Structure 1
Amino acid sequence: MNDLDLNTLLGAEDDEGQPRRRTRSSGKRGSNRRRRRRRNRGGFIAPLLAFVVLAGIIGGGGYYGYLWLSDALVPDDYTGQGTGEVVVEIKAGQSASEVAQELERQGVVASARAFTNAIGNANKSASLQPGSYKLRKQMSAAAAVSMLNPDNRLRAKVTIREGLRLSDTLKTLAKETGKPEKEFAEAAKKVRALELPPYAKGNLEGYAFPATYEFQPKTTASQMLAMMVDRFNQTAKSVDLEGGAKALGRTPHEIVIVASIIQAEAGRAEDMPKIARVIYNRMAHKPPMTLSMDSTVMYALGKYGTFATNADLQSKSRYNTYKYQGLPPGPIANPGDHAIEAALNPAKGPWLYFVATDKSGVTKFATTDAEHQALVAECKRNGGCGG
């Protein structure tokens, strides 16, 4: 096939877009070839320029896209340990993301996502413990994670001593927590919120269990007292208070009363089961005997000590166990677990009297009145029993 036939098939056009006529002149044919080569070079440059421009656009967009993506993947975060002070409370059941939002809201971290990333990197997402923590404003997320350590929780550690009366217990709580004593006094009256056992008869005395407690800053007075009652209920369950009381022919409330007297009278834990036996022996004695416990008289008078004077013994209060037979109306203190166990498990013996014969707290026991008087004389020689 010759050039003419090829051009005809290709539909070649001249520069004006019109079909070109072909002649047999070889000179013209060479000229046409040169024009075609020039046209082909021009057609190659234009797409190349377009490609360069397009690559530039894509490249620029990619750069700015990278910046946007980088900003999206790396959340805002502060640097350093921060300044000032802020108290953050983590509530029971809160997730790490909920804590993160609270930290951002209070200005501790720059963004919630910075914190969730930091705690995830530290593998501590599941270690957040409820409580109040003292943090700083504008601190790095990593620094915030390190300060949310359970050992750094704010708390008031309060030890309630065994044998304290309720009034003294409330004073101790107020002093150690910084809350007004009035708040505790009011909370003690609202017994429904404290979940006292039914046999307590709505009286908190004897049921605010003595122990060491840790209270968070936002724990209310009512919540603190409820925690103490809950601790009593746990102890009552562990020693089977109700079952043990039934076995002794007593109510659980009577056992708590006995335990409170034991707690007030005993100088040592090892003497408690014997003191319990003296109480039960006197209540069961024929002819009837009064308990004659100085501690109950002192409770009625708002005094302290285990030796009541003759003037004290004139009290008409039902707590005067010299005057009235049987147990007083209610507990006279908050007994601990040793006293409760002693009340449930009295020692075996015939004793009807006991006397703390010296200031070391050693208690001696007697069966007859003569033996008792000898112990009182010994007590007086040692500077006690009003001697």
Structure 2
Amino acid sequence: MNIENLLRETLADMAGEERPPAPGRYLLVLDRRPRRRGLALAAASAVAALAIGSTVVVQEMSSRAPADVAGQHNAVPHLVPERRPAVTVTVVEGMRLSQLFKVLSSLTGRPVAEFEKAAKDGTVLGLPPYAKGRLEGFAIPGTYELPPTMNPDEILRAMVARFGQAAEDTDLVDGARRAGRTPLEILTIASIVQAEAGRDEDMPKIARVIYNRLDRKMRLQMDSTVLYGLDKYGTDAKPGDRKSRSPYNTYKRLGLPPGPISSPGDDAIRAALKPASGPWLFYVTTDPKKNITKFAASRSDFTKLVQERDKKHGIR
């Protein structure tokens, strides 16, 4: 009789008993003959364990079980739980997809190419229509505990689902409409703010600089977008970098880049939705070690800030 039939027969027999059998009744068989119920209970236990998500290794599933210390009594086949821990991954604010995929690959053992392939189908991932099928910016920062059985598609879907909650918490869609922008534009602005800001308190001001420049049809001239287009990191683009033909080169192209350049956090998204009030068009990080950024409304004031920065660092 196969295991399935045996399990069915045993459960039917047990249904007629007045009270549940004692746990030890099926853990050890004291007869010399193996009992079918012991075998069936082992099968039932395996089914129950699998149902709650454990990885179970059935070491012996036969009518003959290992002998006890006397070498006479038979024990039922035993199950050894093999619990694989969940994979924990933290998406930090400002992380790019290229960085995230490397982290996920190292934690899961899956090739980076599998995550890249999974990221290409925005519909399967559950991205909102305004994402235009592009995942960058939609893997919302946070810590994720991922079951070890999840494949790249499922992992990325879980992150997109978390984005949906963050979008509700920040009132992204309605807030974007009130700001006269699309949700994708807000996320793009937020990702630039995230990359450019040294301190959270500077984010609303940097967002205002971006809005003021857009409103005046000025080029954004953000080093962070230039470097993203070149797959480089940092916020200090070299003169040669600023000559690139990338669509992310905001020194040459008017308006926002095609999409987010990283995963912005809630503070950056809120800053993009509600920028500070002010006339600023420029900002300079005058003290990078202390993350001190100062803002200017005119080019002459901007020049003074650059001189202040250069003097502090001994640059002539």
State the TM-score, normalizing by the size of structure 2.
0.76
Superposed, 1:123-272 pairs within 5 Å as: 130-132=52-54, 154-272=85-203
Q: Residue 262 of structure 1: CA displacement?
A: 0.5
- Aligned partner letter, 2:143: T
* Larger mean Cα displacement after TM superposition, 313-322 or 353-362: 353-362
- Aligned partner letter, 1:112: A
- Other-structure match for 1:306: 235
Q: Residue 155 of structure 1: CA displacement?
A: 0.3
Equivalent residue for 2:211, pick from 240, 260, 280: 280
| Aligned 8 A contact 2:226 2:242 in 1 | yes
Q: Does residue 367 of structure 1 match 2:291?
A: no
Q: Does residue 292 of structure 1 match 2:221?
A: yes
Quickly say closer, same or farther: Cα 1:369–1:136, change in 2 above 3 A.
farther
CA distance in 1 between partners of 2:275 and 2:211 (Å): 8
Q: Give the gaps of 5 or more residues in structure 1.
A: 1-68, 80-103, 120-127
How many residues align structurally?
272
CA distance in 1 between partners of 2:117 and 2:278 (Å): 44
| Aligned 8 A contact 1:134 1:154 in 2 | no
- Aligned partner letter, 1:343: A
CA distance in 2 between partners of 1:333 and 1:214 (Å): 21
| Aligned 8 A contact 1:352 1:368 in 2 | yes
| Aligned 8 A contact 2:46 2:56 in 1 | no
What is the alpha-carbon root mean square deviation over aligned residues? Answer: 3.3
Q: Residue 377 of structure 1: CA displacement?
A: 2.4
- Other-structure match for 2:32: none
Superposed, 1:55-94 pairs within 5 Å as: 73=21, 75-78=25-28
Q: Residue 211 of structure 1: CA displacement?
A: 1.1
- Aligned partner letter, 1:305: G
Percent sequence identity is: 50
State the TM-score, normalizing by the size of structure 1.
0.63
More helix by share: 1
| Aligned 8 A contact 1:131 1:154 in 2 | no
Report which of the two structures shows the higher radius of gyration computed on alpha carbons. Answer: 1
Higher RCO, Cα 8 Å, sep 6+: 2
Q: Does residue 347 of structure 1 match 2:250?
A: no
| Aligned 8 A contact 2:94 2:265 in 1 | yes
Q: Residue 380 of structure 1: CA displacement?
A: 2.9
Secondary structure in structure 2 of the residue aligned to 1:332:
coil
Secondary structure in structure 2 of the residue aligned to 1:169:
helix
Equivalent residue for 1:376, pick from 299, 306, 309: 306
| Aligned 8 A contact 1:156 1:176 in 2 | yes
